[in-house]
């Protein structure tokens, strides 16, 4: 039985010794900045030379993130394909974007795209197994220097932006914002002033319910749920408001005077709202309904908020704040090695 100890979160020496996951999260901005310095996404536009594809097919980790960001403004169909084998209709009129953070898995897709004459945009950590297959007049390769899936997706979106197929991405600005999140959630920032540590305390000894109103916030909520399941080994539900409202309605208010030794440990609910400052009135209404119902039933509420910048920046910072909270929750449970 792992018990949460919030005193661990203010023991900086202990956090620095055990916080490998915290270090990885803190370097997210640096990894993206390294990719920006090493690669030029506008190379795709120069190679395409005015080409407007019939469709864009994205493959690999975070292909769905690319679709969620670009689809609302993309003037052509954009497909996030779930396997490494291209659909039969893909040909020379199409643009294939391959996120090859795991190069050996995506070689088949690259070979097929090149063989069919499709304009092929490969984003990979470095030349190697991919380079020998990504050869052709209509092939552009971008080496990011990192196997971070999110970095690959951002650089691919920047390439699509150069073709007018995605909204402004501003990778350098996203990297700066990730650095700011790392500073705010640093182990050196005390509990009470650190939003990630506060979120960890809120989620301790509870079953988290996670909600994100916009498409990207909902995606971040699912990623956060995965991270929380990994560190707590508990049920974590990420869902739409329509699915969470009945759960909150049936929540039983916890007895503050219950004795955990006589009555056994009590595990209530907590609600995490990921707020990217969407102007949609329906999303705001759902957020109000959820928070009001949580308050009425004594459910702990944690709000993770980032409403500045473009879609990619808001998504990245929302998710990063949540992942820092999950990492601190794992440390408070002394499960850092599993985070």
Per-residue pLDDT of the chain (339 residues; tens, 9 = 90+): 568 999 999 999 999 998 899 999 999 999 999 999 988 888 888 888 888 999 999 999 899 999 999 999 999 999 999 888 899 999 999 999 999 877 667 888 888 998 999 999 999 888 776 666 667 678 888 889 888 999 999 999 999 999 999 999 999 999 999 999 999 999 999 998 999 999 999 999 899 999 999 999 999 999 999 999 999 999 999 999 999 999 999 887 765 544 444 454 456 899 999 999 989 999 999 999 999 999 999 999 999 999 889 999 999 999 999 999 999 999 999 875 444
Q: What 3 state SS string does 204-219 have?
A: CCEEEEEEECCHHHHH
Q: Which residues contact 285 (CB under 8 A, 6 or more apart)?
A: none
Look at residue 336 in the predicted model and tell me its pLDDT.
59
Angle at 295 between CA 290 and CA 300, to 5 degrees: 90
Residue 33: closest CA among 154, 116, 124, 132: 154
Domain formed by 6-19+187-338, architecture: 3-Layer(aba) Sandwich (3.40)
Please, which residues bridge with residue 97 across strands?
58, 121
* Contact (CB, 8 A) for 109 and 85: yes
Class of domain 31-168 (CATH, top level): alpha beta
Q: How far is CA 88 from CA 81, 236, 238, 304, in A?
A: 12, 38, 34, 42
Q: Report d(CA 332, CA 239) in Å as an integer.
A: 26
DSSP for residue 253: P
Same topology for domains 6-19+187-338 and 31-168, yes or no? Answer: yes
pLDDT for position 335: 77
Q: Are 33 and 172 in contact (CB under 8 A)?
A: yes
Give the domain ranges of the chain: 6-19+187-338, 31-168
Terminal CA-CA length for the chain = 17
d(CA 183, CA 196): 11
- Which pairs from 44-50 meet CB under 8 Å and 24+ separation? 44/121, 44/140, 44/142, 44/159, 44/160, 44/162, 44/163, 45/159, 45/162, 45/163, 47/119, 47/138, 47/140, 48/95, 48/119, 48/140, 48/163
């Amino acid at each position: 039985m792992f018990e949460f100890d919030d005193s661990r979160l203010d023991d900086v020496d202990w956090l620095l010794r055990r916080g490998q996951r915290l270090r990885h999260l803190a370097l997210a901005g640096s990894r993206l900045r390294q990719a920006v310095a090493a690669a030029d996404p506008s190379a795709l536009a120069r190679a395409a030379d005015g080409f407007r594809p019939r469709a864009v097919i994205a493959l690999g980790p975070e292909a769905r993130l690319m679709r969620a960001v670009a689809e609302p403004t993309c003037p052509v169909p954009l497909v996030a394909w779930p396997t490494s084998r291209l659909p039969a209709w893909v040909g020379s009129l199409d643009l294939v974007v391959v996120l090859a953070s795991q190069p050996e898995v995506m070689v088949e897709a690259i070979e097929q795209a090149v063989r069919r004459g499709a304009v092929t945009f490969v984003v990979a950590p470095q030349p190697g197994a991919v380079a020998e297959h990504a050869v052709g007049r209509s092939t552009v390769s971008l080496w990011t220097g990192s196997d971070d899936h999110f970095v690959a997706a951002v650089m691919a979106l920047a390439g699509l932006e150069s073709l007018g197929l995605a909204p402004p991405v501003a990778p350098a600005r996203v990297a700066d914002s990730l650095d700011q999140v790392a500073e705010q959630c640093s182990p050196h920032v005390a509990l009470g002033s650190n939003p990630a540590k506060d979120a960890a305390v809120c989620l301790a000894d509870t079953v988290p319910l996670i909600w994100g109103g916009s498409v990207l916030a909902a995606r971040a909520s699912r990623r956060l749920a995965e991270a929380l399941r990994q560190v707590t080994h508990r049920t974590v539900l990420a869902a739409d408001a329509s699915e969470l409202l009945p759960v909150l309605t049936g929540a039983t208010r916890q007895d503050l005077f219950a004795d955990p030794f006589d009555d056994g440990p009590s595990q209530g609910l907590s609600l995490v709202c990921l707020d990217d400052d969407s102007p949609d009135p329906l999303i705001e209404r759902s957020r109000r309904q959820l928070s009001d119902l949580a308050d009425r039933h004594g459910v702990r509420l944690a709000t993770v908020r980032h409403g500045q910048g473009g879609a990619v920046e808001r998504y990245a910072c929302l998710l990063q704040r949540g992942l820092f909270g999950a990492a601190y929750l794992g440390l408070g449970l002394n499960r850092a090695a599993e985070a």
